Amino acid sequence: MILRTLHMMADTDKPGDSDTGVLTETKPKTDKPPLYKVMLLNDDYTPMEFVVHVLERFFGLSHAQSFEIMLTVHKKGLAVVGVFSFEVAETKVAQVMDFARRHQHPLQCTMEKE
């Protein structure tokens, strides 16, 4: 729904003059929040089983879905693993990056506005 705001200027000291006004188109205030794609990037060193485990653990995917996405990343270079609000995407990226770093794997996880 578009809301219109009407700004009126009443010039009361000039009899006969009509009021002047500006009609402004205003954006709806119920825009949906932006969504962010979370992506995993391929590298030559992170073990396949580790990536599958990351997808199961942090993205709640089944073993079969995780294996499929891991293979897509391995073959294509990257894949979107989920789409989230900014805060959730940021948390997932931080969790994956921290987990990979703690296990000394160079796995990279990034986010991008949809």
For residue 97, give the amino acid letter: M
Q: Which is nearer to ligand TYC, 18 or 45 (CB)?
A: 45
Task: Decide: is 43 part of the binding site for ligand TYC (CB under 6 A).
Answer: yes
User: Coil, helix or strand for 37?
Assistant: strand
- Integer Cα distance of 104 and 98 in angstroms: 10
Stretch that binds ligand TYC, among 17-25, 30-38, 57-65, 68-76 (CB under 6 A): 68-76
Q: Which of 47, 62, 83, 85 binds ligand TYC (CB under 6 A)?
A: 47
Closest approach of Cβ 46 to ligand TYC, in Å? Answer: 4
- Integer Cα distance of 22 and 43 in angstroms: 58
Q: Interhelix angle for 86-102 vs 48-59, to 10°?
A: 140
Task: Decide: is 77 part of the binding site for ligand TYC (CB under 6 A).
Answer: no
| Helices and strands counted in the chain (H then E) | 3, 5
Q: Which is nearer to ligand TYC, 10 or 48 (CB)?
A: 48
Task: Decide: is 70 part of the binding site for ligand TYC (CB under 6 A).
Answer: yes
Closest approach of Cβ 33 to ligand TYC, in Å? Answer: 27
Run of H or E including 24:
strand 20-26
How many positions of this chain bind ligand TYC (CB under 6 A)? Answer: 13
